[in-house]
Amino acid sequence: MNARSIFRLLILLVIVSLPALAFAQATQTQTKPQTQTQKPFEPVVGQAGKDVVWVPTSQALVDKMLDMAKVTLQDFVMDLGSGDGRTVITAAKRGAHAMGIEYNPDMVELSKKNAAAAGVTDRATFQKADLFETDFSKAQVITMFLLPSINMKLRPKLLDLKPGTRIVSNSFTMEDWEADQTETITGECSSWCTALLWIVPAKVEGTWQVGSDQLTLKQEFQKVKGTLGSHDIEGRLRGDEITFSVGNAKYTGRVDGNTIKGTITGGSGGTFTATRTATRR
Ligand SMILES: C[S@@+](CC[C@H](N)C(=O)[O-])C[C@H]1O[C@@H](n2cnc3c(N)ncnc32)[C@H](O)[C@@H]1O
């Protein structure tokens, strides 16, 4: 190959490689500004959510809500609409297993990052899901900061949870299902500072046999009214524990399906067993 042919070959190589070089440069200039402008997601208070906007619960109220629910290491806590994950992460820091259900995928990713930063990814998990489509029957504790109308939509499902399940809501009620405990905090909380706790009551409505006496119970959530023999009674449920008084005898028992076993303090004292004979009075 003479010098002229080598020169021609070089020119040809430059011509052939020019478009490739131009493409490489173009893709570089295209991707560069994107990587420069990619900022981490930052949530904005009041941003739209599927059914509720995002407003975070103050850390002080999160602590109060978990205190009221008496969260233990054995508990599985679920936060319905978990936002940036603070309630789930706080429960996990207390040693519980906790799961956040959140519809906004950016909030789910942010929660996962926050859980990693807090070192609790083994106990704090998050699912991108609609709370109305979620099975929360495995939870011993449910936390929520939603809306009164959403609480009411969830209420039948919540009332069907295992007796003793604790439900804590930031600020919003469940109408005539009165809370078992309400606490308002001051100090490190400027808005939405009230927590309400409900303990899912056992279902006791019906007719029961207690020795030779008939016990009739009419139930409205955690309140019961009825008769024991010829005496009117009024009582209360706290999960599967029922209490009612007849004169100065106080009955305290554990409900297990169609059986109640318990003790009587005052009056003649002793123990009692009640067996349900009909679910309606
Ligand atoms: C008021 S914020 C409460 C956030 C968090 N629980 C807290 O207390 O800080 C309500 C959250 O519910 C989420 N959300 C709204 N509708 C939802 C739905 N149908 N399913 C799951 N999450 C939902 C919103 O995106 C928002 O993050």
Considering 174, 199, 224, which residue would you say is the last residue of a domain? Answer: 199
End-to-end Cα, the chain, rounded Å? 110
| Mutate-to-test residue for ligand 1 from 78, 88, 145, 167, highest number of ligand atoms within 8 A of CB | 145
Q: What is the pLDDT of residues 209-268, one digit of tens each?
A: 999 999 999 999 999 999 999 999 999 999 999 999 998 999 999 999 999 999 999 988
Q: Tell me, in angstroms, the distance from the centre of ligand 1 to residue 53's CA.
A: 7
Is residue 115 domain-shared with residue 189, that is, in the same domain? yes
Is residue 111 domain-shared with residue 193, that is, in the same domain? yes
Q: Give the domain CATH number at 157.
A: 3.40.50.150
Cα–Cα dist 227/281, whole Å = 10
Q: What is the pTM of this model?
A: 0.87
Whether 86 lines ligand 1, by a CB cut-off of 6 Å, is yes
Is residue 181 domain-shared with residue 212, that is, in the same domain? no
- Lookup: tokens for 201: 């009551």
Considering 155, 177, 199, which residue would you say is the last residue of a domain? Answer: 199
Domain that holds residue 83: 59-199
Residue 144 CA: nearest ligand 1 atom is: 6
Domain total for the chain? 2
Cα–Cα dist 112/135, whole Å = 21
The residue whose CA is least distant from atom 23 of ligand 1 is 81
Is residue 109 domain-shared with residue 136, that is, in the same domain? yes
Q: Give the domain CATH number at 244.
A: 2.40.128.20
Q: What is the pLDDT of residues 33-88, one digit of tens each?
A: 545 677 889 999 999 999 999 999 999 999 999 999 999 999 999 999 999 999 99
